[in-house]
Amino acid sequence: MALKSPLYRNGPLVSRLGLGTVKIGRNQGVKYPQGFDLPGDDAVLDLLRTAHALGINLLDTAPAYGLSEARLGYLLPQLGLAREDWVIVSKAGEWFENGISRFDFSAAAIRASVVASLEKLRLEYLDAVLLHSDGIDEAGERFMPALQALDALKAEGLIRATGFSGKTLAGNLQFADCADLLMLTYNSTEMDQLPAIEAAAARGKAVLLKKALASGHAANPDTALRQALAVPGVTAAVVGSLNPAHLRANAQAAGLTAGDVR
């Protein structure tokens, strides 16, 4: 089944496979097995057209992904598609500048980040914004001002849902209660987040997987993706790619067929 559940309660249905866009904006400080050059505009347009043709409607980006938001904002309108054809998720709390990451979870920084993301993406609203954890997320109370800022932006209609992209089980379990969705790591060698997936599912909340292919290190990507998506409670897996052929293979493994999200 290509569509599992909404991104948030009464929200848009998302494809089982989402396209991660870090590789279109950042090639420094990443954990992929091989280095790569940032693709040109034509290559990104080809990738986005391929995603749309395969029924992929979920796009994942972030300020920490370098030029990703700005490039999507420039290139997506060139496809001539409706805003509703895409479910666009970004993040807040982390920025990547001059080769290093910096973090700021103050309410003012979160608001400024979301406003900047909307400007770069040339959007009136984001489908979801996730707090981009710095890894110290078990001390969840330190994120509360940031989550409250996201709640305020949601009330204003600038974002449709709030989320948490965490790194520890304790943090993800806490945010399963207070955010609309979670993004977490799960693959065949990193399965410790299963209780957080179960907790989110019990509360009727979506779970997006990151690193389902172990950042490109999975020995058999098709098998790894199928196994990750077979976990009860998983809504979608977000996988980055610059190669349309790889994207097609991932879509096939995820059970997508053209037109599934139309």
83 in helix, strand or coil? Answer: helix
| Residue with the two structure tokens 């110290």 | 136
Assess contact for 63 and 90: CB atoms under 8 A.
yes
Residue 110 parent element (H or E): helix 107-121
Both structure tokens of 67: 């030029």
Tokens of 54: 């395969």
Contact 124, 84 (CB under 8 A): no
Cα–chain center distance at 215: 14
Q: Which of the following is catalytic: 8, 32, 65, 125?
A: 65
Q: Determine how β-strand 128-132 pairs with β-strand 87-92.
A: parallel
- Compute the distance between CA of residue 96 and CA of residue 28 in angstroms, rounded to an integer: 9
For residue 216, report the phi and psi dihedrals to the nearest 5 degrees.
90, 5
Active site residue 65: yes
Q: Distance between CA atoms of 26 and 35, rounded to whole angstroms? A: 11
Q: Which residues are catalytic?
A: 65
